[in-house]
Amino acid sequence: MNSQEALKSINALLTKKGKQVLNESQEKLFKGIWEGDTFSKIALKNNYHEQSLRKKAVKLYSKIKEELGIEVNKINFRNPIINILAQQDSQNTEEDESDSDDLHKNRNPFIPLNGRVEKNSLFFDREREIRRVFELLNSGSSVVLIGEEGIGKSSLLWMISQEAESRLNVKRQPIFLDLNLLHNETQFYSDLCHEIGIPESQDYQLTRNLRNSKILLAIDNLGKLNREGFTRQIRDYLRGLAEGSNSPLKLILAATEPLNNLFKDSQEQGDTSPLAGICQEEHIYPWDEVTMRAFITSRLAKTSVSFTEEEIMQLIQESGGHPRTLMQLCYPTYSRYVESLQ
């Protein structure tokens, strides 16, 4: 296994565990250590100071230990990683066999009922929207996804984060923050710094720490910035970091309404929302009938169950094209079939 293959595998494992992949400097360091280069050679090759690189190495070892549970160092780096990747391959094989058994037992395929979809195999449609978002990001703009609750924004935002590495023209480290989990600006900055892998900081010090970074920052449930504990200052600051083609941040946001409507303080001051000024709107609409039929068919394809035309029409009409609602309606419909077979 060469360094690039190992790096790809370790990032895939981090993603599977819901952790952030290695950032650009960590990737360069990872490959250099994997190839057995000295710190001085890695530093020279990547235009780093050797002392700074040694500090980055300590953080890399710590990240691998905390998030993957394995001890590594400069001398013993490859073997622990090879072992955990081998264990993961074995586990994946067992999971595939388990999935096959579950499908044979007619496990209900209409999941998850709530929350965002984080598995590629369960994500459906929205390729047009994904393509449009990356066109905007690659043109230098930030983007806000706008749509009703339950329309699939969170799932779409997650998938865009996962595909950023292969679809962005300028490589950026994807960072995903869910504001449902953060309750004030201090927590926001703390979590942001942790996910990026930089010292905890705010304001000017954070700007300095981000100077050489390229981040794609995905923020879900943006409306939570209206809560007590958040001020307009955070939106002004994010705008400042995201302005310009060579900015440290590019933003991909998810909101239930246009930003000028969402943040009333901007209206009171007679100007536009700070983020509205740099984010292109991409509206996420309900599925049409063709898409809903295709979704139902795809989920039933590996089962022995078929819905009647009458059931499908009822599901389409009652869901109104909302993916989450359609999923929740299909789940009990499918369950009734399975119960009748037992």
- Cis, peptide link before residue 109, omega less than 30° from 0: no
For 46-58, write each residue's pLDDT tens digit: 888 888 889 999 9
Please give the mean pLDDT across all residues of the chain: 86
Categorize the per-residue pLDDT at 35 as very low, low, confident or very high, splitting at 50, 70 and 90.
Answer: confident
Task: Assign 272 to helix, strand or coil.
Answer: coil
For 219-266, write each residue's pLDDT tens digit: 999 999 988 889 889 999 999 999 887 899 999 999 999 988 888 765
For 12-27, write each residue's pLDDT tens digit: 888 777 778 888 889 9
Minimum mean pLDDT range among 13-17, 22-26, 116-120, 280-284 = 13-17
Model confidence at 104: pLDDT above 50 = no
| CA 173 – CA 331 distance, rounded (Å) | 36
Model confidence at 103: pLDDT above 50 = no
Token readout for 21 is 């992949």
Neighbours of 43 (CB within 10 A): 21
**8 Å CB contact between 176 and 192:** no
Categorize the per-residue pLDDT at 89 as very low, low, confident or very high, splitting at 50, 70 and 90.
Answer: low
> How far is CA 113 from each of CA 34, 58, 157, 339, rounded to the nearest angstrom?
42, 41, 18, 19
Tell me which of 234 and 105 has the higher pLDDT: 234
Categorize the per-residue pLDDT at 106 as very low, low, confident or very high, splitting at 50, 70 and 90.
Answer: low
State how far Cα 341 lies from the chain centre: 39
Model confidence at 153: pLDDT above 90 = yes
> Computed from CA positions of residues 41, 42, 43, 45, in that sequence, does the dihedral angle turn out positive or negative?
positive
| CA 12 – CA 22 distance, rounded (Å) | 10
What pLDDT, on the 0 to 100 scale, is given for residue 4? 82
Q: What is the DSSP letter of 245?
A: T
Phi/psi of residue 177, nearest 5 degrees: -120, 130
Minimum mean pLDDT range among 108-117, 184-193, 299-308, 316-325 = 108-117
What pLDDT, on the 0 to 100 scale, is given for residue 266? 56
CATH code for the structural domain at 126-283: 3.40.50.300
Choose from 27-36, 162-171, 313-322 the range with maximum mean pLDDT: 313-322
Best CA proximity match to 197, nearest among 10, 14, 23, 58: 23
Architecture of domain 3-85: Orthogonal Bundle (1.10)
The percent of residues in the chain predicted with pLDDT above 90, rounded, is 44
Model confidence at 9: pLDDT above 50 = yes
For 164-219, write each residue's pLDDT tens digit: 988 999 899 999 999 988 889 999 999 999 898 888 998 889 999 998 889 999 99
Categorize the per-residue pLDDT at 83 as very low, low, confident or very high, splitting at 50, 70 and 90.
Answer: confident
State how far Cα 335 lies from the chain centre: 31
| CA 119 – CA 28 distance, rounded (Å) | 28
Rounded to two decimals, the pTM is 0.67
Minimum mean pLDDT range among 85-89, 112-116, 316-320 = 85-89
What pLDDT, on the 0 to 100 scale, is given for residue 91? 61
What pLDDT, on the 0 to 100 scale, is given for residue 102? 44
